[in-house]
Structure 1
Amino acid sequence: MLVDSHCHLDRLDLRHYDGELNAALAAARERGVERMLCIGIDLKNAPDVVAIAQANPDIYASVGVHPLDIAEDVCAIETLVELAGQDKVVAIGETGLDYYYSQERKAEQQLSFANHLQASARSGKPTIVHTRDAREDTLNIIAEHGDPAVAGVLHCFTESWEMASAAIEMGYYISFSGIITFKSAEELREVVRRVPMERILVETDSPYLAPVPYRGKKNEPKFVVEVAQCVADLKGLSFADVVSQTGKNFNQLFRLN
């Protein structure tokens, strides 16, 4: 089962589809994408991502607040748990830490991340983690506030093998995006080679980070094919084997049939 495990369907560039999201979804399905996870980034877009999921049997949703979208008040645990109780919501996030773009709100990011992890523990739904230039703090907060029985995924992974290994030890999955196809990403490709297939997910993070040969264009779920093919090439596996295993991983993490 080919899955785009992380996409922002409410933000896709639909100009080539006459503004029709259904046409972009059909294009993904025609390339074999069988499931998609539409990601929440703040409380404003939560109704939109949930509505998209509820309108499509092959789409699921997450709810949460991205570290760069934290409002003046950090979202409460109770609010996140309530949002996570909606039909078709399978995860909390994306949340996490981003010190690359925001150094001045570290305290708010850390509190928000901790709240999301505790909401995951309460709801039994895994956490989708964004991490950039915050390796030590990300792992420490997961260890302190996360529930290993629920765990989650480090999405659009661009960090070191050491960080990936530590996260895997805590029950997390590692998701790779089109970045692994970039010429400059050889160190990241080595991480792909080392992460066990049983812990890998593939994603587009669309509309961002389109893979080669579409780099520079707006990304969309149908391009997850190129990400899965790159993983297959790096692992010396068939495309079918990667699709099968990453689909199984997705269903296991998010507790889907």
Structure 2
Amino acid sequence: MKYIDIHTHPFKEYYENPLQVVNEWYADNMEKMFIVGTSREDSIELLDLCKQAPFMHPIIGIHPTLTVGKADGDFLETIIDNSVIGIGEIGLDYHYDDSPSAEVQKEGMIAQMNVAKRHGIVAMLHIRDALEDAYEIISREEFRDLKIVFHSFSGDKDYVKKCLALPNVYFSISGVVTFKNAKSLQEAVKEIPLERMFCETDTPYLAPTPMRGKPNISPYVMYTYNFIADLKGVDYETFNQQIRANIKKVFGV
């Protein structure tokens, strides 16, 4: 069975030869990989990488801990091309004391969401310790036609229920769901309809059980697919086909 990883970071920061690495992953069990930016530098890097193989798709964006505010949107407009399928990972991260202020992060998030809106592509969100502030933004009328995906979703089942009232919001689940101490997330995933769900690795982070402690790689997304299929009580092939259909519907690939 082949799999799609909608969030991975095979950058020179982590690998001597990213193209060789992604080709090895593709030969293993991958159908597609969405290469996701976190900075100006790696957003430029990934655009070049994705041109070298048709199974990679670029998502460009500035992470909230690196945002400078509204100028992030202006920058993305200077590098975006027709191959880009999303803007991410963008959002809010209040975890670290040395991150930009909440106000600057909100400016950066909104500016980049507006890029996604203008180009008719997906906004992929990184939200950490900021779920309520994020909801206030994504629920605004101006973003009702924007497809929004929570990357490595971390909310609970009550947050899921609230977001499900917004028909344009989707949830991408990482290997965290396989952890023994992730009971709250597992309960949240039970609430998410199959039609509103994706799977990802966030490589090289968050390796799923049984690969915890190792650097994550995109082929390990298989473990997350299978864990969620078991959690939802559906067979592996049916779940895989549903995720593929979701990706076609939301990302257009």
What is the TM-score normalised by the length of structure 1? 0.90
In the alignment, structure 1 residue 151 sits paired with structure 2 residue 152:
no
In the alignment, structure 1 residue 78 sits paired with structure 2 residue 78:
no
- Alpha carbons of 1:206 and 1:57: their partners in 2 closer, same or farther (altered >3 Å)? same
Q: Using the alignment, how far apart are the partners of 1:53 and 1:136 within structure 2?
A: 34
Match of 1:2 in 2: 3
For 2:238, the aligned partner's letter is D
The residue matched to 1:89 in structure 2 has which SS?
coil
Alpha-carbon contact 2:61-2:87 (below 8 Å) kept: yes
Match of 2:216 in 1: 219
Q: Using the alignment, how far apart are the partners of 1:153 and 1:134 within structure 2?
A: 15
Please, which of 76, 85, 88 is the counterpart of residue 83 of structure 2? 88
Q: Using the alignment, how far apart are the partners of 1:130 and 1:110 within structure 2?
A: 12
For 1:112, the aligned partner's letter is G
What is the TM-score normalised by the length of structure 2? 0.92
Match of 2:178 in 1: 181
Cα deviation, residue 74, structure 1 = 4.2
- Alpha carbons of 1:93 and 1:120: their partners in 2 closer, same or farther (altered >3 Å)? same
Q: How does 1:12-91 map to 2 (within 5 A)?
A: 13-14=14-15, 19-71=16-68, 74-84=70-80, 86-91=81-86
The residue matched to 2:40 in structure 1 has which SS?
coil
For 1:6, the aligned partner's letter is H
Match of 1:99 in 2: 94
Higher relative contact order (CA 8 A, sep 6+): 1
**What 5-or-longer segments of structure 2 have no aligned partner?**
none
The residue matched to 1:44 in structure 2 has which SS?
helix
**Number of matched residues?**
250
In the alignment, structure 1 residue 198 sits paired with structure 2 residue 195:
yes
Q: Using the alignment, how far apart are the partners of 2:31 and 2:140 within structure 1?
A: 35
For 1:203, the aligned partner's letter is E
**What 5-or-longer segments of structure 1 have no aligned partner?**
none
